[in-house]
Each structure stands twice: as structure tokens, then as C-alpha cells.
Structure 1
């Protein structure tokens, strides 16, 4: 058995994450992936960018320090390869490109600013396809701080995909217009109108937290009724009470409500009665993409 280590850095609108994963290779068996370490730093870049157009000096310094720390951690873990991706906030930041150049100069960490389609393609590297049963239809919803990606799968194929600037940090800062909600509603209804018995697949830190709190076994879906009830339950507490009484982290206690709202609306507009919550995300897709690119490289060398 051989154990290899790969890392993913996800620079989101709500938080910055470092995932270090073990990949176990055994003769005659497919590789297995497991989490070795996960570090999450709540730098809310989206609040800077969506309100003021760029990353503030304070958060730019925090991001730089995070990358320095991540570089050291990857070295200690003896990571073979890594990829750093920045999403919605850095895409829209007026100083995004300048900041990535500065970080690379100071730390050596090379950050790619990716668009919504790239993000969806990376996530497709995860175990998402294994979850999709060939004869069923799903609406995959990945909620972030700055944007949400929607993808319709039917009979194992991608039918439609779209990224919208509806994210938890944008909603908190009242930056999502009514017209945008209407546009999302119409897109979902049009993309799913020809299908019956649609289920949602949800990804993102907030739906993962809700699923964990539910106590459901992995692979068991949450019902629309449960998610709606839990949303109302959360709404009955103040932000401070969600921290002190419910035990939510400060940077989770506010965004969890707009996230639940997005999932509930997606379920309502697609007429889905249940939502599956697999443990997948951008970081997982980055790790798998890195690993399989090394395998493909070996195949090319052998040829």
C-alpha cells in the first residue's frame, strides 16, 4: 500500500479552507481518499468585495498570512501537490489579480481565480456522479457566499447548468435584488419542467451543518418538511442566541439562514420533496483532479 498526500485551498466569499487529503493506492483496487486535515479561516472576503468593490487592506493581510500558514502546513504534511482556487469574491474584486500576484511573490502560493463553470467542473471530479442513479433526475445546488451553482442531472447526464450571483454573504448584505430571485425561479422551473420526482443534492458548509444536526445517517435524505421546520426554528432565535444557545460558530450563525432559504426555494421551484447531502465540495474536487492528473501523466509517459 502507498499513501500519497494532496492539498486543496478554497478561497471563498465566506471562508478560506485548506484540505489535506490522503490517497491510498493498493494493487488491484481503486484508490481511496480520506481527510487528513482541514483548516478553516473565517475571512469574509465577500463583505469587502460586494459592498466596496475590493478586498480591504486588513483582509488582504489576513489572506496573505493564511497562505503563509497553509504553505507551512503543507510542507509539514509533505504534500505532493496542491491547487489553490478563488471563487466569487476574488472574481469580482477590483484588486483580485493584484492580490494574487502579491501573495505568490510573498509565499509562493499560486492562486487561480476560477469562474462558475470551472467551479462546477471541479466539483464534478468528486463522488457526485456515483450518487446519481441513472434513471432518476436531480437538481444539484452548491451554495456559496457569493454565488450558487445549479445543475440538472437526468439519466446520468447533465441537462442544464447555471451559476447565479445569489450567495449567503450577498443576501446578508441585502445585495440580491428581487429580479435576481425571479430569474433563478424561472430558470429552475424551466430546467426541471419536463421531469417528475426530482430530488435535490445539496453541497456547502451550511447544508452539511444542518445535516449533521439532524442526526440522519449518511446517504439518508432530508425532507422538505424537516428543512422548512428547521429554518423556522433557526429564525426564532437571534444571531446571538444561535451562537450561545444553539452552539453555532459566529461565522455560521448568520449565513446558515440565507443558505437554508436558497435550498428551500430550489426545492419548492423544482417540486423536490427531499434533499441528499453528500460530503462533497470544491476542495474534494480539487484533490481528486490533482490525483488523477498524475495518473494520466504516468499513462502518457508510458505510451
Structure 2
């Protein structure tokens, strides 16, 4: 007989926030299944405020409170048992981030945990990566967000090292990433990967998911560095409006997709990776598993 639990994860990023509702299916003597039920994405670009002026504006804060009230109602409607809400670099760096989290707890009834980059990388590592990682292979997992990029190295089925860098799409759009940051990333990647033969990348994030969808490939087939660069040149040749009208990109995706490709392409170049796999996983997936297995320091809450 199976037992079904409903968990929810709220990922508050620098470019958007997401609510993922998952059915956790348990059956005796069988692996637990994590079946995604619903994913709702709200395009509130908190990083635009946080990275440029150091605070989250009143307009963004009000939109965020409304979104969290909606998320709370949806979790109640779907009878979610447990949830965790994690905010990353934008809330972390805004001087009023903690104050806003407290206001949301009072007005929307959603408790937000503002996490560090290391914790973010650890949570992401809890996602479904094992499905794509071979026991005798070497992989650099790259998760590109609006404010930061998390890198995690896996070798022979084990996690070796991880690092978070303040280099994300919203920062790049605002010319807030210095050459020294790029140099630091290059050095870190080369230092940890130069001795590993036939290394592949695993990419996550909304932008690489969109690029992969545009390629028409199936999940088990990777993209090449050459393909990424072709897409970079093509997208760069179009105006912002053309990317929306011709390609059907969302307004909050049409600008950040180009700097995102730059990060993935450089990671491939510096690690000598020939392929990048895109399994459609990310922070919200990791939050669900972290709650279930309780193997990451993450605050869980029940729905009242």
C-alpha cells in the first residue's frame, strides 16, 4: 500500500520566485518517488533592486507579499503538509531583506529562510543529480541564478567540492561582475577539473532549460559548447523585442538568457567539457528532498 505526502518548496531567487508542489510517494521496500505536481513562477526581479541600490523597493516588496499570500493559499488548497521557503542572494544582500522576511511572515503567514551560497549549493546537490551521474564519470554541475552561480564537482559518483560565486545574470546585466570575479571562477574550475578526463557539465536554471527546449533534444541528449556559442551569437543578433516577439521568450527571460549562456559556455571552456546535460532540476527540487531526508540544515514549516 502506498502513502502519499505533499511537500512544497518556495525558491525566492534574484530574477523570479517559484512554488513547487510535489507528491512524495512511499511504498514498502521500494525507492521513494518525488513526483512534481505543480510549478508556479512569478517574475519579480528582486536582484535589480538589491544589487544596484542595496535594498528591495517598496513596489517589489508589495508584489512579493501578494505572491506569498497566493502561494500560501495554493499550499492550503493542495493540502500541503510541509513547506520550506529559501531566499538566495538578492534577499541576502539587500539591507532590508531580513526585515521584509519578517513582514511576509506576519502578513502572508509564510516563513522565509535566507540562506548562504554554501547552503544553496548543498541543497541543490540533494536534487535528482544521481539519475545523470555515472559512478565512473566526472561532472561539473553549474546552477546559474540572477545573483550567483553555484558550482559542484562530482567524480566517480561522489561530491568532491562546491563553491558559490557572485556572478549571475542580473548582476551581469547591470555590469556588476568585475574581471577579477571571472578570473577567480576560471582559476577555481581549472584547479579542480584539469586532472579529470572526459568531464561533462550538468546545467540547471531557467535559462539553460529554455535553450535546451529550443534545441528540440530529449533529456538524455546533451548540448555542445559549439551549439551554445551559436545560440549566443543568434540571440545577441536579435533585439530584446525580437527575442520576445520572434522566439516567444518571456519579458524577464529575453534579457537574462544571453549572460546566462556566457557563464555556461565559459564553464565548459575552462573545464574542457564537450557536452552539457540539462536535466531540469534546481533549488526547489533540492529543497523538497532536503526536507524529506533531513540531510541539510533547512527550516521546515507546517501549513496553518
Inter-partner Cα distance in structure 1 for 2:205 and 2:232? 16
Aligned positions of 1:47-126 closer than 5 A: 47-126=48-127
- The Cα shift of 1:201 comes to 0.6
- The Cα shift of 1:226 comes to 1.2
Which residue does the alignment assign to 2:302? none
| SS of match in other structure, 1:4 | strand
- The Cα shift of 1:234 comes to 0.9
Which residue does the alignment assign to 1:279? 280
Inter-partner Cα distance in structure 1 for 2:142 and 2:33? 25
Alignment root-mean-square deviation, CA: 1.2
Inter-partner Cα distance in structure 2 for 1:232 and 1:52? 31
Which residue does the alignment assign to 1:299? none
Larger deviation, residues 265-274 vs 284-293: 284-293
Asked if 1:139 is matched to 2:135, the reply is: no
Which residue does the alignment assign to 1:12? 13
Inter-partner Cα distance in structure 1 for 2:53 and 2:33? 43
Inter-partner Cα distance in structure 2 for 1:246 and 1:23? 35
Write out per-residue CA displacement over residues 220-265 of structure 1, whole angstroms, 9 at most, x where no aligned residue: 1111111111111111101000000111000010111000000000
- The Cα shift of 1:131 comes to 1.9
Which residue does the alignment assign to 1:181? 182
| SS of match in other structure, 1:248 | coil
Segments of structure 2 that go 5 or more residues without pairing to the other structure are 296-304
| SS of match in other structure, 1:252 | coil
Inter-partner Cα distance in structure 2 for 1:268 and 1:185? 9
Asked if 1:205 is matched to 2:206, the reply is: yes
Inter-partner Cα distance in structure 1 for 2:168 and 2:244? 21
- Which runs of at least 4 in structure 1 moved beyond 6 Å after TM superposition? none
**Higher helix proportion, which one?**
1
- The Cα shift of 1:104 comes to 0.6
Segments of structure 1 that go 5 or more residues without pairing to the other structure are 295-303
| SS of match in other structure, 1:29 | coil
Inter-partner Cα distance in structure 2 for 1:166 and 1:259? 10
Write out per-residue CA displacement over residues 77-112 of structure 1, whole angstroms, 9 at most, x where no aligned residue: 000100000001011010011111111111221100
Inter-partner Cα distance in structure 2 for 1:157 and 1:290? 21
Which residue does the alignment assign to 1:219? 220
Inter-partner Cα distance in structure 1 for 2:182 and 2:238? 25
Inter-partner Cα distance in structure 2 for 1:182 and 1:125? 28
Inter-partner Cα distance in structure 2 for 1:232 and 1:207? 15
Which residue does the alignment assign to 2:301? none
Inter-partner Cα distance in structure 2 for 1:183 and 1:121? 21
